[in-house]
Amino acid sequence: MKNILLISSVMTLLVNFVLVSVMAQTPPATTKSATGQVALKIEGEVGKSLQLTTEDLRKMPVTEVKAKDKGDKERKFIGVPLGEILKAAQVTVGAQLRGKNLVKYVLVKAADGYEALFSLPELDSEFTTASVFLVFEADGKPLATGEGPYRLVVPGEKKHARWVREVTTIQVAFAK
Ligand SMILES: Nc1nc2c(c(=O)[nH]1)N[C@H]1C(S)=C(S)[C@@H](COP(=O)(O)O)O[C@H]1N2
Ligand SMILES: [Mo]
């Protein structure tokens, strides 16, 4: 009897341990703000970590971008240049983008695990006339699940591989 009790409490402990470990290792796919809106995270080598909602993005330099999608269909996107989001997070762009800061990169992560990398000069309007946009609206509507709420649009590129859908996190880091 004693043995059975001992075995059953050990089993309960084990099950609890496994459950707690699984729960601790499963990160939420998205972060929601106090208002329930999904927030975009900007983190890593930033002066100020940010969690932005569409509402926050609308207060930034909002731009209309007409670009052809992979199916060659022109769409009218509304979004913010990614460089402006980096500025808001106090990333070393502009006058600070020199020396060791030239070794930083920007990793854009999506809800499905897809990732694409940019260098800082690719996103800095003082370096390039090309632009990368974080968009939240297309043809008058918020981006649907599977594409949004946030997506990259990179109009200058011949391939659409860096048009990351369902962006959750923008991570800035040193390459070395
Ligand atoms: N999150 C996420 N974004 C993604 C991808 C993906 O697999 N996951 N595929 C990329 C590739 S390879 C292409 S060609 C385009 C296709 O964009 P579309 O789905 O709007 O046609 O999305 C890009 N963005
Ligand atoms: Mo692709």
Strands 151-153 and 133-138: antiparallel
Q: Distance from the CA of 163 to the center of ligand 1, in angstroms?
A: 6
Q: What is the pLDDT of residue 30?
A: 57
Q: Distance from the CA of 58 to the center of ligand 2, in angstroms?
A: 29
Per-domain boundaries in the chain = 30-174
pLDDT digits (tens, 9 = 90+) for 101-149: 999 999 999 999 999 999 999 999 999 998 999 999 999 999 999 999 9
Query: Among 132, 139, 160, 166, which residue has the most ligand 1 atoms within 8 Å of its CB, making it the best to mutate?
Result: 160
The closest residue, in CA terms, to atom 13 on ligand 1 is 161
Q: Distance from the CA of 5 to the center of ligand 1, in angstroms?
A: 55
Across the range 40-59, mean pLDDT stands at 98
The ligand minimizing its distance to the Cα of 165 is 1
- Homologous superfamily (CATH) of 30-174 is Oxidoreductase, molybdopterin-binding domain (3.90.420.10)
**pLDDT above 50 (res 33):** yes
**pLDDT above 90 (res 17):** no
Whole-prediction pTM value?
Answer: 0.84
Q: What is the pLDDT of residue 18?
A: 45
